[in-house]
Amino acid sequence: MSPMNSWQGVFDQFLPYGDFKTCLEFGLGSGTEYLIKHFDKVISLEFLALPEHEKWYKECKEKFAQHDNWEVHLFRTKDKYTKKLRDYVDSFLKMKPDLVFVDPGIHCRALLVNQCFGIINTIVAHDTGTGHEDYRWDLLDPPSDYARHHFEVTQGTTMWTRNKKFYKSFLKGEK
- Residue range 116-175, pLDDT digits in tens: 999 999 999 999 988 777 888 999 999 999 999 999 877 889 999 999 999 999 999 988
- Domain CATH code at residue 113: 3.40.50.150
Domain assignment present for residue 128? The answer is: yes
Domain assignment present for residue 2? The answer is: no
90: nearest Cα among 126, 124, 119: 119
pLDDT at 99: 98
Q: How many domains does the chain have?
A: 1
**Cα separations in angstroms, 81 against 67, 102, 104, 106:** 30, 14, 12, 9
Domain assignment present for residue 90? The answer is: yes
Q: Is pLDDT larger for residue 111 or for residue 48?
A: 111
Domain that holds residue 86: 22-29+40-164
Domain assignment present for residue 82? The answer is: yes
Domain assignment present for residue 116? The answer is: yes
Which is it for strands 122-126 and 22-26: parallel, antiparallel or unpaired?
Answer: unpaired
Domain assignment present for residue 169? The answer is: no
Domain assignment present for residue 65? The answer is: yes
Domain assignment present for residue 170? The answer is: no
- Calpha distance 132→154 (Å, rounded): 15
